Amino acid sequence: MALPLYLSTEDFVYRTPPNSCSPALSSSLRFQPPQRVEPAPDVGHSSAKDTRKAKKQVTFADHRGLSLTRVKVFSPFNDPIDIPLNVQEALSSAASLTAEKDRLVLDFPQPSSDYLLFRQSLNRNLVCLEHCVLKDKGLAGTVKVRNVSFEKSVRLRVTFDTWKSHTDVDCVYVKDTYPSSYSDTFSFEVSLPAELPPHERVEFAVCYEVGGRQHWDSNWGDNYRVVWSSMKSEGGGGGGGGVVTIRICSTSEDSDKQRPHDVKQCFH
């Protein structure tokens, strides 16, 4: 009669069956080694630890032996650059504006453009600038004078330094296409300085000498001015700031020695 066999855990672990036991029985009774259970992590403690690990530090490149600058070298190339049309127009306009600021211009309208005022000035002063143009660093134009005598002379008085000094330029008689006993025409050409300072301007007036007297056309006391385009007054007329306005300046021959002082008062 077979009796039941009861084995405890200790008996099984420490008392292994003999080799004669069947492999299947030995395999079915084998226990796995006990597993170690890790305690649950503390969430708050883990977050603080991760925060300490994630702390950032600033390190400069030169501390690591690296360069603080990065240089890029661009080589010239022959391929045409495709610039949009609107950009080209904007660049052209900017270049034109810059060039215009450096250009000398007349700061007065053409006297003969208003014919009635021109004739009024000629009748009153006996002399009047008729036409004036700037060309090739020079000034050229014509002057009308009343034909009150056969012997006469016309000249321009020009200054390039605001009347600290001046130069007289003789005008040349011009035979009119349709001669008139009322008036005569004279022409002039004046060379401008190669380098006129930006703060300076060209000023001139016309002197008509006839019968021992001098008659002046000084643009009604403002002088005829040639200025940089950026300094041009609105409307092309001369400003009257600090100018002593004397519309007609004339002296006799016996007072000609004082003429430079008188001209300065009239034109400046």
Mean pLDDT computed over every residue of the chain? 75
The dihedral through the CA atoms of 261, 263, 265, 268 has a sign that is: negative
What pLDDT shows up at residue 58? 78
| pLDDT tens sequence across 45-91 | 555 555 566 677 777 777 777 777 778 777 776 666 777 888 878 87
How many Å apart are CA 165 and CA 158, to the nearest integer? Answer: 9
How many Å apart are CA 145 and CA 171, to the nearest integer? Answer: 12
| pLDDT tens sequence across 194-228 | 888 888 999 999 999 999 999 999 999 999 999 98
* pLDDT for residue 257 is more than 60: no
**Token pair recorded at residue 39:** 């305690």
How many Å apart are CA 94 and CA 114, to the nearest integer? Answer: 34
Please name which of 167, 131, 173 lies closest in space to residue 150, comparing C-alpha atoms: 173
Name the residue type at position 29.
Answer: L
What pLDDT shows up at residue 39? 60
Average pLDDT over residues 22-28: 50
Q: Are 121 and 128 in contact (CB under 8 A)?
A: yes
What pLDDT shows up at residue 230? 83
What pLDDT shows up at residue 38? 60
Domain boundaries, the chain: 104-267
SS3 per-residue string spanning 121-171: HHHHHCEEEEEEEEECCEEEEEEEEECCCCCEEEEEEEECCCCCCCEEEEC
DSSP letter string, 228-255: EGGGPPGGGPPP-TT----S----BGGG
Confidence of residue 180 (pLDDT cuts 50, 70, 90): confident
* pLDDT for residue 140 is more than 80: yes
What pLDDT shows up at residue 33? 60
104-267 topology per CATH: Immunoglobulin-like (2.60.40)
